[in-house]
Each structure stands twice: as structure tokens, then as C-alpha cells.
Structure 1
Amino acid sequence: MRSRTRTPARPRPLHAAALAAALLGLLLPLFALGPPAQAAPAAPAGFRVENGRLLERSGNDFVMRGVNHAHTWYPNQIGALAHIKAKGANTVRVVLSSGDRWTRNDTADVANVVAQCKRNRLICVLEVHDTTGYGEQSGAVTLARAADYWIGVQSALTGQEDHVIVNIGNEPYGNNAYAGWTADTKAAIQKLRAAGFDHTLMVDAPNWGQDWAFTMRDNAASVFAADPDANTVFSIHMYGVFDTAAEVSDYLNRFVAAKLPLVVGEFGHDHSDGNPDEDAILATAQRLGIGYLGWSWSGNGGGVEYLDMVTGFDPNQLTGWGQRLFNGANGIAATAKEAAVYSGSGGDTTPPTAPGTPTASGVTSSSATLTWAAATDATGVTGYDVVRVSGTAESGATTTTGTSTTLTGLTPATSYTFAVYARDAAGNRSPRSGTVTLTTASGGSTAACAVGYRVTGEWSGGFQGELVLRNTGTSAINGWTLRWAFAGGQRVSHLWGGTATQAGADVTVTAASYTANIPAAGSVTLGFTATRGSTNPAPTAFTLNGASCASS
């Protein structure tokens, strides 16, 4: 062993040319090898973010198309996941509670939610709602507290990285002290990573999710950089702050331009804080390939019941908002693609058998009940679509999970032909059943009413209309349901003065509390907006509470 204190021999001097040659000999191997090798980050276990896009393990670009479901408040409505899937969604955002403001969803319950999502071939976005409005809302908890909850139920989530995205906390700041969002969000992400969470994480904006102060927008890059897995998605909630197409487009485009992943984690067609531009949200999200999750399936209260997509958790009672989101332009049915983890290699591609030919019963002037024999499928039938058939064309789609349905809003003395399709959990559709033809009764009874219908404005692809419902009788009308059919493919997107649902061409409007009473010789006025095709024919017949109503 040589002594460390040994003085080295003094080197001999080199001429310039020799020195250059010597240096070149030392550097050439380095150039050949390229820059020093760096350890590549470990591949994410499931979903991952690359270049501002959310990808599945398969490498497919995944765009969320789905809805929110209030599981923590309605734990007995877990069957809603099957109904949400049957409407075409590929994702469901599930409301959970850490136990700080509502009943805690424990590990067993979370595991069951995940199992039901997988059974119904839905990607599960799980969120803790107790953080909502922290700093302004009494009882709201911190993101750190939400992270503790996730760690507490971690065993239900480990290994589910292909199927579950963890939305750390819902709307984690109100309109007070929201500047703390950036540091708190970074800390929560790092806390979960340190605990071993390999999932894609989702983080909501402050300002009740709407980010009107642009805290999330302006700090998203640093938050993303703070995730050691580089696997965080941002979520904006769009309500009254986003009431113009320009505001929607500007916000979404900024994230796309910065190559930062974004989804619209909540939005509606109306809200107490303003009227969001849902058409712009849907169109811009589709154009940019950004995911969206509408609020919410059913069970809303506190004055925002109009945000229910179905009435009373009944999948056969789509509201106007539900019709718009599921079946309208750029909606879920037209744009959703099932996750590759379900429909990729090895996925179920076998459709169910055709249902039996339906039979009709209980035919009246405005309704009929159809019943058919069940279809069969190896993995189970999740729903049936009843369609109206005219020659080779089909219209409408009344969806049900059972083998019968009652169709309402039919026109008196009219011939209809119907058929049925079955769907399975993978979204495969069966061959069409045989058809049944029925003719509605002539009606006979006539209500003491008249309906005036007019178009008050039109634009490309849409229009605004008005209906004046007059009581021509001698006694008051207390509560009413008005029905008519559109002949030109029009679809009601929003209605005031009542609650509208639409199945195919048939529109049903139930009275609002302030229009339910119509005194003798009195009237109420309803307004609506709707989409249209190349023509816009007016309805020719109306019924009020099942009886014919004159046009005026």
C-alpha cells in the first residue's frame, strides 16, 4: 500500500500538439458514450401523465366522460353505478367522507365501491368531500386530514392503480385564505407518495373549485413538479364563474398550452351563483380532448335539485340536464370510450343475445307498457334500450334495467313501432329484437286548456321557444303535467317554469311550485332552449294531465 503522504513524481512538460492529442484521447470515450446516464423514473403502476395527457398503462389516451355520484349520502344507491354505465359513461366520481362532517366510509365500503366500479367497467375517481370550502365553511377539514384518511383506507386501494384515481379533497378552499392552496396541495401529494400511493392523484382548485383568483392555474406547474411521480391531474369545477364561452375556452386552453393535465371535475347547466355555459364546456372539452364529470346523478338538495340528472335515482326518469349531458351534442353517449383496461386485449367483445319481441299492454291515448323476454350474456345484461322504429330509421332511446317499461307522452290516435336492444357491462349491444306496432287511443277526453307555442329566436343548431298554458275552464288547475312530441329531432336543453324530461321525441314537463296553480281564465308562461336540425316544425298536439289540450 502506498502512503497517502507520498509526493507524486513531477510530470514532464508536453508540447502544445502533444498536449492536444492527449486531451483528445481522454475526451473521445466520453463523446462516444454521450451524457452521463441518469436513472429513469419507475413506470407508474396504472394510469400515468405524459406530456400533459392522462394515459392508461396500455399507453392509450384516456378521456373521462362521466358523472358524480353522492355515495356517502346515499350508500344504499350503489346500484346507480350500473345505471350510470348503461347511459354510456366511462368514469364515475364517487363522493366519500373522512368522517369529519359525514359518516366515514370505511375500508370495507371503499373496497366495495371499487369492486362495483370494476364490475360495471367504470374508472373510479374517489374524492373526500369533507375538505369542501375549508377556510370559509364551518367544519371543513384540511388536505392534510384528507391525506390521513386515504392512508387509513389504503389497503382497499393498493393494486387498483389501473382502475382508481385518488382525488385528494373536494374544493379544498373556499374564498378565504385560499393562497395556502399551493403549499397545502404539494404537502398532501408528497404525504401520499411517501406512504406508498402509486395512483394518479387528482387535485381540485380552491375558491369552491372554481379558481376565480387563478391560484391553481398560476401555480399548477410548481405543484406538478412537486409530485415525485409526476402523476398529478388538476380539476376545475365550472359553475357560475364560467358563464361565457370565452372564459371556458381561455381557462382550458391555458392548461393545454402549458402541457398540464386538466379535467372538468364538476359542472352543471345552472347554478345559484350564475348560469354556466354548459354547451361551451362540453364543446371545448371535446375539442381539446379534456375529460369532464357532470354534477350529479341524483339526490341533490339545498336548492340545487335542478342539478339531478335523473329523478329519484330512477334511470328511466332523465331530467332535462340529464338528457343534455348524456344524449346531447358532445355528450357522454356520443363521445365516451371505455377504458382499455376493460375493453382492450382480452376484454369482453361478445354482445348479449337479442331480447324477446316486446308485447304491448295498457295502451291509452298517451302511454303504453312494453314487456319482453330477457336477453342472456356471459357477464350479465346491465340494461335495455327501447327505440322507436320508422322504416329503417330509429329514434329515441328509453333505457331501463328491467324487462318492461311504460312509455309516456305518446300522441293520441297515432301508430308507433318499437324494438328493444340489450347491453352488457362492457357496453356491447345486442342484435335488435323483433318489433311491435301499437296504435294509441283517440283520447276522447279533452282538458279545459289551450297551449300557445311559438319560437322566439333561432340560431344555427338551436332555438328558444315559449309556451303559454291557458286554463279555459271555470275552476283552477292545481298541479299539472304537459306533454308533446317534437317531429324534427329537437331536444330541450333547458326549461324554466317547470321540469322537463325527454325520451326520444316525447317531452314531459311537470309544473314548478310557482306555476303549478293556474286560476280559471288564467295562464302561465314557460320558456325553453333546445337544439334542432335543419328544420324546426312546431308540435301539433299537447296533453295536459293525460287529456288532449287545444292549440292556440
Structure 2
Amino acid sequence: MSKRLGLVAAALLSLLVSMLIVPDAARAAVGLRVSGTRIMEANGNAFVMRGVSHAHTWFASQTASFSGIKSYRANTVRVVLSGGRWAPNGASDVANVVSLCRQNRLICVLENHDTTGYGEQSGAYTLDQAVDYWSSVRSALTGTEDFIVLNIGNEPYGNNNVSGWTTATRNAITRMRTIGFQHLLMVDAPNWGQDWQFTMRDNAQSVFDADTQHNTVFSVHMYGVFDTAAEINAYLNAFQSAGLPLVIGEFGHNHSDGDPDEDTIMAQAQTRGLGYIGWSWSGNGGGVEYLDMVTNFNAASLTSWGQRIFNGANGIGQTSREATFFGGGSGDDTTAPTTPGTPSAAGVTAGGAALTWSASTDSGGSGLAGYNVYREQGANDTLLGQSTTNSITLTGLSASTQYQVYVRARDGAGNLSGNSPATTFTTTSGGGNPGGGCAATGTVQTQWNNGYVVQPVTVTNGGTSGITGWTVTFTLPAGHTVTGSWNATLTSSGQTVTARSVSHNGTLAAGAATSFGFQVSRPNGNTATPGAYTCAAS
């Protein structure tokens, strides 16, 4: 061999050796990864998070929550964990959480809650301590990069000394890669996640560059700071202009620090292709119980916030697509359901109407998921509601108004059927009750084989003076029995049910409204639901 050939061979051998011993921290990203402003799966398909948080560390026995969250078509769950600030979740528990995520076909964002409010809240851990926790449970996370995201620390700074966030976050990312984690990482903003001082926004590029894999997504929490469309859009625009990935890692419809504009948050997330994760499934306390999406971890009992995020405009049910890693959302199912039948209207009131229609079928493989009901208005048809069954009670309509509505079926892959034939009805006047009249409408929220939940039953004072109490009566189908209720006292006489106001919701000013709900058992296969509701001031 010539000297020249020997040198070439030596150079090639050196290159080969260097390729074989690349350290963990410098490997290319595997599994879920970011590309510009988007999150991608390993196969190159874009993935947009549509999910909710679950407070696992405080309610570790509520493992049915994973299937409950999935039942409302979420594709992501953010799971609260602790390394010691609360009862710690060790490697075996984390492994079980990972298994539940996979069983329920959910992308899982695991977050360490110990860091919440560091610098302002007593007992909060540092981000460095959070990394220690992740290192201690690494055995449970090996090989999960396709469906697990590691949210290093929840809201890692309060409102004090937030200038330390940038260095602490950079160092945490570096340590995670040095330890050997190949997962997509998520980092929360300071200021209790809301970044109102723009520390994360203004230092995001520096933090992103600290990741040798360039595989970190930023998370902002939108509560009272984000109460206007202008503030929401300005923040989202900053990351979009910078070409950096962002998700709305927490938000709610209300909060102790103000009233977030959840409609704009959800609409802009959908328009921009950004992920959002609502807070939270159940178990809230400390005055923010209204952030529960279901009552007492009961998937059959959606609250008004749960109804909004799962079934409302730009909600999870309407916009979520399952990760292709689990076999969904890849475009394999492109077959739309059959067109529903013409809806019929009954029980028309000043503010609503009960609609029923013949059911659709789906042959595409993803299964029939439900129906969208639209008001026909030419090019700008309005979504009035969504239902998982072939009936719905519309509420919140305008009095003395003609509505022409139609229905479209949707399947699990998001395919929509054609428009059903339209039906027309006119709401009643709703006025003429100076003595304090009222009206009531009910919505069947969730159904299963032998039961259902009606929530909300909305009671509206349509008169010109206040009332101090109300009574709503309705008739249950034969064989149906009320098994529970809330925000009203219910009594039954045969199939006739009477609901009376309770101390906190009986007084209604003119034009004001309140609501109650109830749960019903029924014979299997009997899909009938209550008829019209009659309301009287008492």
C-alpha cells in the first residue's frame, strides 16, 4: 500500500470511529421533534396538541381519567408529577402513566410540578432539582420518544428574580441532554407561566440554541394576563415571527387573576396550527374549582368549562387529530360519513329548540364521532352546537328569530359528511312577563348505553322584573330514573320531575340566567331523552 493510500485509509477510519462514538448530547433528535414553529412526528407528519392537564400526583388513583380524556377526542394529556414537594411519583408510577398514555393513544406531556412559583412560593424546587428528578425516573422513559414529551418544570419562576430564568433554563436543557434524554423537551415561562415581563419571549432564541438537538418547544400559560385578543395575538406573533415553536401549555375560561379570552386563544391556536392544553380535567381547589372540566372525575359529568373546551367552537372535539404513531390522523381514513336526515324541531322556546335527526353511518374505519349543527347563513354559516348522538337541545338563541339549520356528521378522523336538508323554526317572543316569568331549556351532554347526563338546563328570567325562585318541570321517558342532580332540588312523581331552585340560584334579575343538571339511568338501548321543559317563577 502506498503512503498516500495509507493516509486516505487512516482518515476514513478516523471518520468512521467519530461517527460511532458521538456523545448522547450531540445526537440527532428522534421521535417527536420541532421543525421551525411546528411539532413533527418521527414520520414527518405535523402534530398539533389538543389536550388537557390531569393532576395525577394528587389523585394517583384516578387512572380512569386517561380513558375519560380520550373519550372526548383529546390527542394529548399533560400529567402532573412530583419528585418530592408533594408525594413523589417514582419510576414505577411513571412507567404506569406511560403505559396508560400508550393504551389510550395519547401523546403524554409529563411535567414536574415541584418548580411552580420558584422564588416567590415557599418550598418550590429549582430547575436543577427538577432535572435530578427526571434523571431518577429515566428508566421508565427509555424508548418513549415517539409519544412522550418532557416538560422540565411547571411555571419555574413566580414574579421575583425572573431574570434568572434564562440561565436556569439553558442549564436544565443542557443537563437533560448530557444525561442522555432524547425526548422533545418543553420549557415553561416565568411569571407563573404567563411571561408578562416577556423574559421567555425575548430570550427564547438563546434558550433554543442551548439545546444541542434543537428540539425544545416553549410553553406559555394564558390566564388573566391574556384577557384581550390584542395581547394574545401580539404574544403569538412574536414567536411566529421568530420562527420558534410555541404551545399554549395551560389556559382556562376564568381565573383568580382575571378573565382570559378563551375564545380568541382557541381560535388563534387553530388558525396558526398551535397546540393548546387546557387546565384541567378535575380536582381543582383553592377557589378555582370552576376550572374542573368534569365533576368529581366523572367523565359523564361535563361542567360548563368542559363543555366549552371539548364541544365548543375550535374545541378539542372539533379540531383534534390523533397522532399517527397510534394509527390515527394519517389520512388513511378519507371516507366521510353518510349524510344525516332532515332535523326536526320541537320544544321551541324564546332561547332554544330540541332537534332530532336520523343517524349517519361511517365505513371509513375511524368510527362515527358525532354531529355538528349549523345555522344556514350563506357563506358564513354558524356552528350552533355539537352532539355525540342524533339529538341536541340548542340554547342561547335569540327570541322572535327565524332559524334555518342543518346537520353534518363527523368521524374520528375529522371527515365531515354533506349537509343534511335544512329545517326552519322561529323562536318565541320570550317577553310579556312583567311579573317575573321564566323559560328553561336542557341539553343532553353525554350518553351511554344505560344512562345520560343533562347539563346545562338553563333557566332564564325573560320578564322585566326579578324573581326570587323558580320551578322547572319535565317528563322522563318510561323506565328512566333520575340518579343524581346538582344546583337544584329534584322530586319525582311517576315520570314527571320537578326541579326547584336552591338558595344560591333562585334570585334572578330580569334577563339573568342560571343552570342546573341531572343524571338519569335508563334501560339499555332506550335512546329517548326528556321532552320540553316548563318553567314557572315561584
Q: Distance in 2 between matches of 1:74 and 1:244?
A: 34
- Closer, same or farther in 2 for the Cα pair 1:345/1:315, shift >3 Å? closer
**2:138 alignment partner AA:** Q
**Which of 245, 253, 269 is equivalent to 1:285?**
269
Q: Distance in 2 between matches of 1:75 and 1:423?
A: 32
* Alignment-derived partner of residue 181 in structure 1: 165
Q: Distance in 2 between matches of 1:194 and 1:517?
A: 61
Q: Distance in 1 between matches of 2:106 and 2:224?
A: 29
- Closer, same or farther in 2 for the Cα pair 1:194/1:482, shift >3 Å? farther
Q: Deviations over 1:305-363 (max 9, x none)?
A: 11111222222222221122112221111211111111269999799xxxxxxxxxxxx
1:505-524 to 2 correspondence within 5 Å? Answer: 515-518=504-507
* Alignment-derived partner of residue 302 in structure 1: 286
* Alignment-derived partner of residue 438 in structure 2: 451
Does structure 1 conserve the Cα–Cα contact (< 8 Å) formed by 2:312 and 2:386?
A: no
CA shift for structure 1 position 225: 0.3
Q: Which of the pair has more CA radius of gyration?
A: 1
**Which of 445, 461, 466 is equivalent to 1:468?**
461
* Alignment-derived partner of residue 336 in structure 1: 320
**Which of 115, 118, 124 is equivalent to 2:108?**
124
**1:154 alignment partner AA:** R
Per the alignment, in what secondary structure is the counterpart of residue 142 of structure 2? coil
- Closer, same or farther in 2 for the Cα pair 1:294/1:271, shift >3 Å? same
Does structure 1 conserve the Cα–Cα contact (< 8 Å) formed by 2:53 and 2:277?
A: yes
* Alignment-derived partner of residue 81 in structure 1: 66
Q: Which 10-residue stretch deviates more, 209-218 or 308-317?
A: 308-317
CA shift for structure 1 position 512: 10
Per the alignment, in what secondary structure is the counterpart of residue 114 of structure 2? coil
- How well do the aligned residues superpose, as a CA RMSD in angstroms? 5.0
CA shift for structure 1 position 228: 0.8
1:5-84 to 2 correspondence within 5 Å? Answer: 42-84=27-69
CA shift for structure 1 position 549: 2.4
Percent of matched pairs sharing the same residue? 54
CA shift for structure 1 position 476: 7.3
CA shift for structure 1 position 468: 2.9
Per the alignment, in what secondary structure is the counterpart of residue 317 of structure 1? coil
CA shift for structure 1 position 52: 2.7
* Alignment-derived partner of residue 17 in structure 1: none
* Alignment-derived partner of residue 255 in structure 2: 271
Given the alignment of the two structures, is residue 220 of structure 1 paired with residue 220 of structure 2, yes or no? no
**1:79 alignment partner AA:** A
* Alignment-derived partner of residue 98 in structure 2: 114
Does structure 2 conserve the Cα–Cα contact (< 8 Å) formed by 1:87 and 1:326?
A: yes
* Alignment-derived partner of residue 439 in structure 1: none
**2:504 alignment partner AA:** T
1:154-193 to 2 correspondence within 5 Å? Answer: 154-193=138-177
* Alignment-derived partner of residue 80 in structure 2: 95
Given the alignment of the two structures, is residue 526 of structure 1 paired with residue 519 of structure 2, yes or no? no
Q: Deviations over 1:148-191 (max 9, x none)?
A: 10110001111000010000010000011111100100111111
The gaps in structure 2 that reach 5 residues or longer are: 1-17, 336-364, 374-382, 396-408, 417-434, 441-457, 476-486, 489-498, 515-529
**Which of 191, 201, 216 is equivalent to 1:207?**
191
Q: Deviations over 1:3-35 (max 9, x none)?
A: xxxxxxxxxxxxxxxxxxxxxxxxxxxxxxxxx
- Closer, same or farther in 2 for the Cα pair 1:178/1:511, shift >3 Å? farther
Does structure 2 conserve the Cα–Cα contact (< 8 Å) formed by 1:53 and 1:259?
A: no
Q: Deviations over 1:94-143 (max 9, x none)?
A: 11111223x11111111111111111111000001111000001111111
Q: Distance in 1 between matches of 2:217 and 2:258?
A: 26
The gaps in structure 1 that reach 5 residues or longer are: 1-37, 352-378, 389-393, 410-420, 430-447, 454-464, 485-497, 500-509, 529-542
Q: Deviations over 1:211-242 (max 9, x none)?
A: 00000000000000011111000000000001
Q: Distance in 1 between matches of 2:268 and 2:317?
A: 17
- Closer, same or farther in 2 for the Cα pair 1:346/1:257, shift >3 Å? closer
**2:216 alignment partner AA:** T
- Closer, same or farther in 2 for the Cα pair 1:511/1:120, shift >3 Å? farther
Q: Deviations over 1:268-314 (max 9, x none)?
A: 11111011111111111111111100111111111111111122222
Q: Distance in 2 between matches of 1:336 and 1:126?
A: 19
TM-score, normalised to structure 1's length? 0.63
Q: Deviations over 1:31-79 (max 9, x none)?
A: xxxxxxx989643220111223211101111111111111111112111
Per the alignment, in what secondary structure is the counterpart of residue 302 of structure 2? coil
- Closer, same or farther in 2 for the Cα pair 1:408/1:312, shift >3 Å? farther
CA shift for structure 1 position 467: 3.5
**2:262 alignment partner AA:** E
Does structure 1 conserve the Cα–Cα contact (< 8 Å) formed by 2:439 and 2:535?
A: no
Q: Distance in 2 between matches of 1:467 and 1:212?
A: 38
Does structure 1 conserve the Cα–Cα contact (< 8 Å) formed by 2:55 and 2:79?
A: yes
Q: Distance in 2 between matches of 1:163 and 1:483?
A: 47
Q: Deviations over 1:482-527 (max 9, x none)?
A: 999xxxxxxxxxxxxx89xxxxxxxxxx999873354xxx868635
Equivalenced residues, count: 421
- Closer, same or farther in 2 for the Cα pair 1:290/1:422, shift >3 Å? closer
**Which of 235, 253, 256 is equivalent to 1:251?**
235
- Closer, same or farther in 2 for the Cα pair 1:450/1:85, shift >3 Å? same
Given the alignment of the two structures, is residue 549 of structure 1 paired with residue 536 of structure 2, yes or no? yes
Q: Distance in 2 between matches of 1:176 and 1:281?
A: 27
**Which of 210, 213, 219 is equivalent to 1:235?**
219
* Alignment-derived partner of residue 365 in structure 1: none
TM-score, normalised to structure 2's length? 0.65
Does structure 2 conserve the Cα–Cα contact (< 8 Å) formed by 1:315 and 1:399?
A: no
- Closer, same or farther in 2 for the Cα pair 1:512/1:427, shift >3 Å? farther
Does structure 2 conserve the Cα–Cα contact (< 8 Å) formed by 1:182 and 1:215?
A: yes
